[in-house]
Structure 1
């Protein structure tokens, strides 16, 4: 870039800084800025359009167009050349604007007199804030230097908009980060939470986008980049024995950190008048825009690497970050784009709720959230950008809504709901030590699901009769390398100790699909949920399975041992897994180690195929647990990650309940104990229907045991079964309305 152009940019930015420093209302600032830009660039028109909402741009200030059009002219995202700039996130430079694709004539502005058009997006880290436009009567394309200069100005406008410089009297713009916002996400863990935002990665706020001394800013940038490079090299040095994929990610970080073109662009931005921080953010925003439009998925993934690296550099420059940020507020609700299981476990049970922009219902974070019984909503797009530390926030983990900065009426209704739940829990406490015996005299065993040592105290408090599912993968997911056999044996022994004689069913390692170990190479599969996962991985990687089985045997040491293999699709897989466990027991006997007092070997029935396995399977299995979450998605061919279809099919569908009844009948023929494990087991109406179909053991999260027991103790399963059968005979698709009607007629408010 020519030196004189850089000098002109610095002069313009200096004038903008002076204008922004003046004591004036937001509208006056906007008007002054458009005058300065038009004068500096020698154009007849300069206009600023800002977003009124996510889909609407509003003309907020202009020099050259009709003043009466300000706050009256509005465009939809993608409408006209201005809307096109906003939608693409890239400049539009047209010498003959009326002939350009997408042009829309706006007669109220008087723009017909101007031929040339240059529009620059005003955006900050992927967040669309507005569009900066210059126009001239001459039919000419603006030079690269002029485009660049306007991009630098747009960067400053983005930062000033973020800081609320254009709000106030006359601006007709709401103050940012103060309005209430409703986000619709996906429920990954049920529950309701009221609290305050705690950002996992606080926003780095650039308060000094314009700098007077380019040499000093360049020195600051060089020092920060050098520190960044050293930290990345240190991370690489500490992963000499790490998985190849992990090293590849860090090598990518090092490549970006040493990129000459990245550093050159930031150097040019500083020479044009930006501070070091603003230069980093400008290039981060530009890279996001470029990579988001790339069709190659691998290249789009690199956006996250560059984002992370840029954020690290910004934290070095500003000294901002989690370690220097605000303290965790009371009743914290964690807000993040995404988070790993180990990081989430570091927060522990201090959190009241979690809201993520990314993730999945089967992700590592969801597994930990379920283990900690913390409400979790995922796919809340944009919340990490909109939320600020300390903002009031409500998480509705029943419907998937997140209320950020809600009005008092909504807060009140949430608190009423929480109070009602607390009152109900007091009623359930009276049932804690009583069996779940129905009015017709049938007793249903209620077990709890667990995955962490921290879950075990809930055994006594919830009234659970034991642990129907202990997820062993969490100990693998939260480490950077395979845990040692001795570590696992000690952990499993502590679990059995904490259970004080109650049954604990250990599910062997259930990885694959979206549960990929940090040190395991990710296998690209078209449909991971139907791919290489769970027992399939264990049988192909017998070393890991043998090590885990040895740890379980040693942990039992004279106590009963219950082991369950997940995702069994056919008899042979179970038979092979069972034989492997029996061989390990024999090996431990030869070594002279104390053996379990008894061993029960079972399988999770999560695939419809296993329900039709040969009779020998049911005779060989010591017990079977229906994995309701997976079985339902495979039965209905409806991916539980897909919001368009996952709620389309009801657990209380006649065909699904008929299928459950068939499984119950097969187990009854061979006397094989059968249980149901999954989210539906913890929903009272679903639990009653499952019990009516013949299931006598249900496993659920601890908090669900009270409500389920409360309803079970007050129903006649025979009457429920008769109503289900009648609904089926009448051709009803779901029995839910019929069962609810039956319960209401019996005096229950549903």
Structure 2
């Protein structure tokens, strides 16, 4: 980069820093910024487009275009040259914009007189926040020096956008991270919690992106890099004690830490006017953008290594984050972009709640959160930007709401809700030893779902009749290699010991879709929920299935064994899986091992196709468990990971309840026990409707056992069946309103 351009870049950044430090509203700042960029770049136009929502860009400030177009001109992502920059995250530089591919004329802006166009993304760590554009009448392409200068400015704008410098009426950045903020996410695990923020990987806030003295910043960068290299070498010094995968990660760290090109780019950024930490973050963002587009899975995985290394550098430079030894509060609510199952298990039950920016209702983190009975909210966009360690926080997993630094009135109302739930839970203690027998004389068996040893104490305290689903995949998901047969046998034996003679239904490995093992090559499938998963993997990878079945058989040591296979779609799959059980039983007998006293082999009915299987299937299956979460998404063709459609369809839809009744009737005709397993079983309205459809067994999270038992003991199921039948005759779509009214009219309380 030329010395003159270097000087111009620093000069522009200095003016930008002064502008950001001035008092005034966000719009005034934006207006001043577009003016100074146009002046410094010697162009007639500078415009800033920011995302209004995930799909729409809005012209938020301009120098040179018609002022009336500000906040009026909007573009869909991919629309026009600006939308193309946002979609591809690539710079567009053209001397003849009207002739460029994808150009769209917007008459309200008055841009038709400008020929040249330079647009580049405003992005931070892979997230595109908007587009920065300069235009001029002169037909010319902008030079590499000019593009670089604008890239540096865009990086600063991205940081300031995330810090909220362009919203509200605050003076400069002084009021940030102080005001109450509410986030609306999605429920990953129900429940409510109050506590203080503990950031899993604290976001490093770069509040000084612009520096005056490049020599000082270069020295700071070199010192941080030297410290980083020493720490990586120290971690590798005891390499003999590391597992192979750990060594590979550390070697990747060392490669990046000693990368001359990485260092050179950061030095150029500092010479252009950025602070050392801003230079690190700029290159981290650029690398994320490049590597996220690489098709090779191994190279994409290295992105995480580079991210971690960059974050370590940022913490060294700023003194923020984990390296400062931030202590976990007594009432921690974990806040993170995302988190793996192993990391979450390390925190254990010490957490009061979890809030994630990413995640999904079926993610590893959600599975572990349910197993630990910790309230979880996912898709809380931008919370890691706003939250600081120690902030007061309220989490309402029932509603999918997070209140950060809540006002006193909000906190008081929230505490009332917690107190009411605590009082109600005390009433369930008296029901622990009692049956869920309805006034009409029907007894519903209530089982709990589990996946960890930590769940098993709930078997006694909740009053569950047994474990209707033990998820065996968690032991595979939290490890870096396939667990050994002996380890699994010991675990399964401990689960049976803890159950104290109560039935435990072990579901074989349910992986694939959103549950990919760390050591299993991900399958690039267009629709993984309907792809190579669960029993399909088990029947194709028979070695793993056989090993798991052997571990289960040996764990029994003369006790009953109950095993069920997930995602059975047709009779032949069940028949093949059952044959594997029989073969392993014979093999264990031949080896002289102690056999189970009895063996129950069942199937999870999660696809509508299995409901129409031949009669022989219902005759051969020892039991059937309706997997409600998957069955509902396939019945309605609504992806349960898609927030736009998953709440569009009601479990109490007449057609779905009729389908449940049809399944029950087929099972009853062959004397095959059937149960319903899933989140909906733990909801009062759904539970009474399922029972009214003939399901005499329900399996749910432990915390729901008491409330559901309490409701069932108050409800006449014949009344519920009549309401459903009447609604079906009228052609109603759902019975939710009628069932809720019945509960109120009859004084039924959860």
Question: How would you bin the TM-score normalised by the shorter chain?
Answer: 0.7 to 0.9
Checking the alignment, whether the CA contact within 8 Å between 1:236 and 1:251 is kept in structure 2 is no
Q: Given the superposition, is the C-alpha separation of residues 9 and 529 from structure 1 closer, same or farther in structure 2, using an over 3 Å criterion? A: closer
Answer with 176-185 or 730-739: which moved more: 176-185
Checking the alignment, whether the CA contact within 8 Å between 1:253 and 1:306 is kept in structure 2 is yes
Q: CA offset at residue 365 of structure 1?
A: 1.0
- SS of the equivalent of 1:646 reads coil
Q: CA offset at residue 287 of structure 1?
A: 4.3
1:277 corresponds in structure 2 to 277
1:397 corresponds in structure 2 to 397
1:742 corresponds in structure 2 to 742
Report the Cα distance in structure 2 between the residues aligned to 1:104 and 1:176, rounded to whole angstroms: 38
Checking the alignment, whether the CA contact within 8 Å between 2:559 and 2:596 is kept in structure 1 is yes
2:700 corresponds in structure 1 to 700
1:365 corresponds in structure 2 to 365
Checking the alignment, whether the CA contact within 8 Å between 2:69 and 2:109 is kept in structure 1 is no
Q: CA offset at residue 567 of structure 1?
A: 1.5
Q: CA offset at residue 741 of structure 1?
A: 3.1
- SS of the equivalent of 2:346 reads helix
Q: Given the superposition, is the C-alpha separation of residues 37 and 227 from structure 1 closer, same or farther in structure 2, using an over 3 Å criterion? A: farther
Report the Cα distance in structure 2 between the residues aligned to 1:165 and 1:534, rounded to whole angstroms: 48
2:441 corresponds in structure 1 to 441
Q: CA offset at residue 49 of structure 1?
A: 7.0
Checking the alignment, whether the CA contact within 8 Å between 2:469 and 2:699 is kept in structure 1 is yes
1:587 corresponds in structure 2 to 587
Checking the alignment, whether the CA contact within 8 Å between 1:534 and 1:566 is kept in structure 2 is yes
Is the aligned partner of 1:549 residue 2:546? no
Q: Given the superposition, is the C-alpha separation of residues 613 and 127 from structure 1 closer, same or farther in structure 2, using an over 3 Å criterion? A: closer
Checking the alignment, whether the CA contact within 8 Å between 2:257 and 2:309 is kept in structure 1 is yes
Q: Given the superposition, is the C-alpha separation of residues 105 and 305 from structure 1 closer, same or farther in structure 2, using an over 3 Å criterion? A: farther
Q: CA offset at residue 487 of structure 1?
A: 1.1
1:711 corresponds in structure 2 to 711
1:528 corresponds in structure 2 to 528
2:382 corresponds in structure 1 to 382
Report the Cα distance in structure 2 between the residues aligned to 1:139 and 1:327, rounded to whole angstroms: 58
- Aligned positions of 1:320-469 closer than 5 A: 320-469=320-469
Report the Cα distance in structure 2 between the residues aligned to 1:115 and 1:666, rounded to whole angstroms: 72
Q: CA offset at residue 31 of structure 1?
A: 11
Unaligned runs of 5+ in 2: none
Answer with 164-173 or 369-378: which moved more: 164-173
Q: CA offset at residue 172 of structure 1?
A: 8.0
Report the Cα distance in structure 1 between the residues aligned to 2:170 and 2:616, rounded to whole angstroms: 80
Report the Cα distance in structure 2 between the residues aligned to 1:303 and 1:587, rounded to whole angstroms: 45
Answer with 451-460 or 728-737: which moved more: 728-737
Deviations 1:315-339 (A, max 9, x none): 3444543253421223222221211
Q: CA offset at residue 231 of structure 1?
A: 8.2
Report the Cα distance in structure 2 between the residues aligned to 1:638 and 1:141, rounded to whole angstroms: 48
Answer with 581-590 or 331-340: which moved more: 581-590
Checking the alignment, whether the CA contact within 8 Å between 1:553 and 1:595 is kept in structure 2 is yes
Is the aligned partner of 1:216 residue 2:223? no
Answer with 368-377 or 4-13: which moved more: 4-13
Checking the alignment, whether the CA contact within 8 Å between 1:188 and 1:378 is kept in structure 2 is yes
Checking the alignment, whether the CA contact within 8 Å between 1:49 and 1:57 is kept in structure 2 is yes
Report the Cα distance in structure 2 between the residues aligned to 1:679 and 1:35, rounded to whole angstroms: 51
Q: CA offset at residue 222 of structure 1?
A: 4.7
1:198 corresponds in structure 2 to 198
Report the Cα distance in structure 2 between the residues aligned to 1:529 and 1:700, rounded to whole angstroms: 22
- SS of the equivalent of 2:176 reads coil
1:517 corresponds in structure 2 to 517
- SS of the equivalent of 1:395 reads strand
Report the Cα distance in structure 1 between the residues aligned to 2:424 and 2:181, rounded to whole angstroms: 30
Q: Given the superposition, is the C-alpha separation of residues 141 and 406 from structure 1 closer, same or farther in structure 2, using an over 3 Å criterion? A: farther
Q: CA offset at residue 506 of structure 1?
A: 1.1
Q: CA offset at residue 684 of structure 1?
A: 1.1
Q: CA offset at residue 295 of structure 1?
A: 10
Answer with 588-597 or 157-166: which moved more: 157-166
Q: CA offset at residue 573 of structure 1?
A: 2.2
Checking the alignment, whether the CA contact within 8 Å between 2:163 and 2:385 is kept in structure 1 is no
Checking the alignment, whether the CA contact within 8 Å between 1:232 and 1:253 is kept in structure 2 is no
Deviations 1:399-422 (A, max 9, x none): 323333333333333222222211
Q: CA offset at residue 508 of structure 1?
A: 1.2
Q: TM-score, normalised by structure 1?
A: 0.84
Corresponding pairs, count: 736
Q: Given the superposition, is the C-alpha separation of residues 30 and 478 from structure 1 closer, same or farther in structure 2, using an over 3 Å criterion? A: same
Report the Cα distance in structure 2 between the residues aligned to 1:344 and 1:120, rounded to whole angstroms: 38
1:653 corresponds in structure 2 to 653
Report the Cα distance in structure 2 between the residues aligned to 1:526 and 1:137, rounded to whole angstroms: 45
Report the Cα distance in structure 1 between the residues aligned to 2:175 and 2:90, rounded to whole angstroms: 26
Q: Given the superposition, is the C-alpha separation of residues 232 and 119 from structure 1 closer, same or farther in structure 2, using an over 3 Å criterion? A: farther
Report the Cα distance in structure 2 between the residues aligned to 1:162 and 1:746, rounded to whole angstroms: 52
Report the Cα distance in structure 2 between the residues aligned to 1:166 and 1:630, rounded to whole angstroms: 43
Checking the alignment, whether the CA contact within 8 Å between 1:125 and 1:284 is kept in structure 2 is yes
2:626 corresponds in structure 1 to 626
Q: CA offset at residue 613 of structure 1?
A: 2.4
- SS of the equivalent of 1:470 reads strand
- SS of the equivalent of 1:567 reads strand
Report the Cα distance in structure 1 between the residues aligned to 2:121 and 2:614, rounded to whole angstroms: 64
Answer with 685-694 or 141-150: which moved more: 141-150
Q: CA offset at residue 453 of structure 1?
A: 0.5
Checking the alignment, whether the CA contact within 8 Å between 1:75 and 1:83 is kept in structure 2 is no
Answer with 359-368 or 168-177: which moved more: 168-177
Q: Given the superposition, is the C-alpha separation of residues 663 and 240 from structure 1 closer, same or farther in structure 2, using an over 3 Å criterion? A: same
Checking the alignment, whether the CA contact within 8 Å between 1:12 and 1:36 is kept in structure 2 is no
Report the Cα distance in structure 2 between the residues aligned to 1:616 and 1:117, rounded to whole angstroms: 70
- Aligned positions of 1:8-87 closer than 5 A: 9-10=9-10, 25=23, 41=40
Checking the alignment, whether the CA contact within 8 Å between 1:85 and 1:91 is kept in structure 2 is no
- Aligned positions of 1:288-327 closer than 5 A: 288=288, 306-318=306-318, 320-327=320-327
Deviations 1:255-295 (A, max 9, x none): 76666544332121123343332211122234456677x69
1:572 corresponds in structure 2 to 572
Q: CA offset at residue 8 of structure 1?
A: 5.3
Q: TM-score, normalised by structure 2?
A: 0.84
Checking the alignment, whether the CA contact within 8 Å between 2:31 and 2:61 is kept in structure 1 is no
Is the aligned partner of 1:676 residue 2:673? no
- SS of the equivalent of 2:470 reads strand
Deviations 1:510-561 (A, max 9, x none): 1111111111122222222222222222222222122112211222112222
Deviations 1:107-151 (A, max 9, x none): 9xxx99999998877654456788888899999876443443454
Report the Cα distance in structure 2 between the residues aligned to 1:208 and 1:297, rounded to whole angstroms: 36
